[in-house]
Amino acid sequence: MQSSTAAAPAEQAGAHLPSPEQLLGRFGLETFRLGQREAVQAALDGRDSLVVMPTGGGKSLCYQLPALAGEGDPTRPLVVVVSPLIALMSDQWRRLREAGVSSTMLASGMQDGHNAKALSEIEDGTAQLVLAAPERFASGAFRAALARRRVSLFVVDEAHCVAEWGHDFRPDYLRLHEAIASLGRPAVMAATATATPRVAQEIAERLGLREPVSIRSGFDRPNLTFDVFGAEGKGAVARKRAALMHVLADPAARPAIVYCGTRKDTEEVAARIEQEGIGAVVYHAGMTPESRRESQQAFMEGRAEVVVATNAFGMGVDKADVRTVAHWALPTSLEAYYQEAGRGGRDGAQARALLLASRMDLGRLIRFIKERETTVEDVKRYVAGVRQAADGDTVTVGHGALGERQRVLLSIAERAGAVELEPAGHEGLYVRLTGQGSPRKAYAAIKAAKDRGWEAYRSIERFSTGAETCRRRQILDHFGDAEPGRPTGRCCDVCDPDPALELAANAAPVSSGGRRSGQGSTTQAASVTETLEPAQAKAFERLRAWRKDRAEGKPAFTVAADSVLAEVLRRRPRATAELIEIKGIGPAFCEKHGESLLAELAGLEAQLDGLPARG
C-alpha cells in the first residue's frame, strides 16, 4: 500500500494550480452555482469538505473540476469517486469523456476486458479520475492499481449512505475510511443531496473528516411547486386517481414520474394513464433487467411520457426535463420524498411535486414500520442462519440477499460484536462470525433503529397532513436550512391552492372501481383515432398490429405509444432522418424498428393516398 502522505495538491505539484474559474472554462461554463466554487477551492487546497447540495444543484462538478488541475503534473494525481449509482456513474463517465477529461469506471457487471483496461489506465497515469462502486475496494488488483498513483482527492458521493440515520444506509460504505487511510489519507470530499444536521454529523464522524469545510448551498428549489392532495373516506382512491389524471392531462406536465409503493400499483396506475391516451411504462424490481432497461430507455428517449415506478427507479437517472413527480403512495421519510421530488425540474424550468395522501396510506406505512421492527431474537436467528451457511467462520452474502431488512440485521449484529463485515467486491459482503456478541449493545442498536424508523414516519406524517404551514418551509426546517428564496412559480398548495385540482378530484365517481382489465387499450385507441382522418384510422389499426408483432410478447407500449403511432401517420416520414424528428422516437427506436416501420408505412401509401402529410 502507498505510504506517502497526502499534502495539499499545490505543495506536491510544486507549481501554481489553476483557479476554479480557469477550470470551469474547460467545461464551457462561465459561472458557478451556489457553493460550487468553495467546494472546488477546498479540494485544490487539499482540505476535507462536506458538500450538501440539492438534487440538480451541481455536486458532480465540484469533484470533476479538481481532476483537471493535475494536467501536466509529473506526479500524476488521481481523483477517486465512490458512488453506489451505476447509472449515474455511466452518465458522468460519458460526459467526462465528451469534455475531454481522461477518466475510467469500475463497477459490478462490467466485462472483464473493460475492467482490465480500466486498471491499466489507472496504473499508467492515463486516467485523471476514476469512478468506482464501493465494493471495488475489496479487489486486490484495484487497490494495487491505486497504490501506484498519488490520490489527491477521495470523493464519497451519496455520502448519506454511510449514515445509519440516513434514509439509504449501506454497510459497504462503512469501510471507506479504511480505504482512505490506505491511500495515504488524501483530501476527502463527502457529497450528498439529503442530509439533516444529524446525518451530516454522522457522515463526518464515520469518514473521519478533519476540520471539513462545510458547504451547504441550500435545499430550496425555487422552481418546484409542492402540492399535497389529501383524500379521505369513501372514494379516496378514485379522488386520488382523478387528481393525478387532471395533472397529467396537461401536456406541459409531462414528462412525469409517478412513484407507487407496490409493484401491483405501478401496473394498475400505468394502465389507467394509458387509458387516457398518454404513453406510460412501468419500472419495478420484479421486472427482468432487460425489461427495466427498455422501460427506462423508452422514458429517457420520450417514447413514453410517463414512467410509473417503485423507488427502484431514479437513482442516478439524469433526465433534466421532468415536469411532474407524483407520489401515489407515501414515501418512508421526508428525506426520501425530497430526493425523489427533486428529480423534477433539473433543467431549471418550472416543475411540480404532487403528493397524493390519505389516512389509509399512513395506516399502511405504520403497519410497514411495525412489521419491520427488529428484536434481539430476530438478530439471533439471522446470525444462526449465517452460521449454518458459513464455511468455517466466514460466509459471503451476495448483493441479491442484501435487502434493506438484511442490511439492518447485519448492522445490528456488527454493533453487538457478533459479526465483522468486509466488502467482497462484486460478490457482496464477507460476514465473519466472532463467536461473541453483547446483548446490551444489541438492545441499544435495536432501539436506535426503532427510533430512526418512527422519526422518519413522523417527518412524512407532518408534511402530508400539516395544511397550515408552507410545504417549502416544512422541508427547509427539516433540513435545518435558511429562509426560502422567492419561488419562480406557484409555491405550494398551502400558500397558493390550485382550485382546479380540487374541482377535478371532487367530480370523480365515489366508486373506486374501474374498467376491467383489457379495456384500457381500446379506450386509449378510441381517444387517439378521434383525431385522425377515416383513412388514417384504418391505417392506425395496421400500425398497432405491426407494433404487436415487434413487441414479441412484451407490452406494446415498450415499442411505441398510440400517440406516437398517430403522429407517424400524420407526418408519414419516408426516411430515418424524418422519423427521428417525431416526439417519442429516439435513436434506439430507429436502430431497432426504424426500417421495419418505414417499410410498413410504404405499404400503406395507397390507403393514405390523397391525404396531406403534416411536416
CATH 1.10.1060 given to domain 374-445: no
Average pLDDT, the chain: 82
Percent of the chain's residues with pLDDT above 90: 28
Least reliable range by pLDDT among 124-138, 155-169, 258-272: 155-169
How long is the chain? 615
What Rg value do the Cα atoms of the chain yield, rounded?
Answer: 26
Write down the pLDDT at residue 431: 84
Q: Of the given ranges (228-232, 361-365, 542-546, 549-553), which has the lowest mean pLDDT?
A: 549-553
- Nearest to residue 187, comparing CAs of 50, 46, 3? 46
520-608 and 374-445 share a CATH fold: no
* Position 557 confidence tier, pLDDT thresholds 50, 70, 90: low
Residues 77-92: what's their mean pLDDT? 83
Dist. CA 428–CA 394, nearest whole Å: 13
- Give 9's pLDDT tier (boundaries 50, 70, 90): very low
Of the candidates 42, 22, 44, the one whose C-alpha atom is nearest the C-alpha of residue 32 is 22
Is the Cβ–Cβ distance between 74 and 124 less than 8 Å?
A: no
pLDDT digits (tens, 9 = 90+) for 398-409: 766 667 778 778
- Region 138-146 average pLDDT: 87
% residues pLDDT > 70 (the chain): 85
Domain boundaries, the chain: 9-216, 224-366+454-506, 374-445, 520-608
**pLDDT per position as a tens digit, 25-83:** 888 888 998 899 999 999 999 999 999 988 777 888 999 999 988 776 767 799 999 98
**pLDDT value, residue 166:** 52
**Is the domain defined by 520-608 classed in CATH 2.40.50.140?**
no
pLDDT at residue 10 is higher than 50: no
User: What pLDDT is stored for residue 576 in this prediction?
Assistant: 85
The stretch 177-206 carries a mean pLDDT of 90
Q: Render pLDDT for 285-325 as a digit per residue (tens, 0 to 9).
A: 888 878 888 888 889 888 899 999 988 676 556 788 999 99
Q: Assess if CATH 3.40.50.720 describes domain 9-216.
A: no
Residue 610's pLDDT is: 52
More confident residue, 170 or 615: 170
Residue 257 pLDDT grade (very low, low, confident, very high; cuts 50, 70, 90): very high
Mean pLDDT to the nearest integer, 232-240: 84
Q: How far is residue 524's CA from residue 519's CA, in Å, rounded to a whole number?
A: 9
Whether 1 has a pLDDT exceeding 50, the answer reads no
Please tell me the predicted confidence (pLDDT) of residue 522. 46
Cell of 252: 406541459
- The pLDDT of residue 484: 66
- The amino acid occupying position 493 is D
Report how far residue 412's alpha carbon sits from residue 418's, in angstroms, rounded to the nearest whole number: 9
**Per-residue pLDDT for 499 more than 80?**
yes
Decide if pLDDT at 337 tops 70: yes
- Residue 515 confidence (pLDDT): 41
Helices (H), 334-375: 334-341, 359-371
Locate the DSSP E strands across 99-142: 103-106, 129-132
Range with top average pLDDT, 237-241, 256-260, 447-451: 256-260
CA-closest candidate to residue 566, choices 543, 550, 588: 543
- Evaluate if residue 529 carries a pLDDT over 60: no
Q: Regarding beta strands 429-433 and 419-423, do their DSSP bridges make them parallel or antiparallel, or are they unpaired?
A: antiparallel
Residues 6+ apart with CB under 8 A from 443: 376
CA distances from 188 to 15, 24, 151, 229, 268 (A): 22, 21, 10, 42, 45
Instruction: Specify the residue for cell string 414520474.
Output: 257
Within 10 angstroms of residue 277's Cβ, the number of other Cβ atoms is: 20
With 0.85 as the threshold, say if the pTM is over it.
no
CATH number listed for the domain at residues 224-366+454-506: 3.40.50.300
pLDDT digits (tens, 9 = 90+) for 558-611: 788 777 888 888 888 888 888 888 877 877 788 888 889 998 888 887 766 655
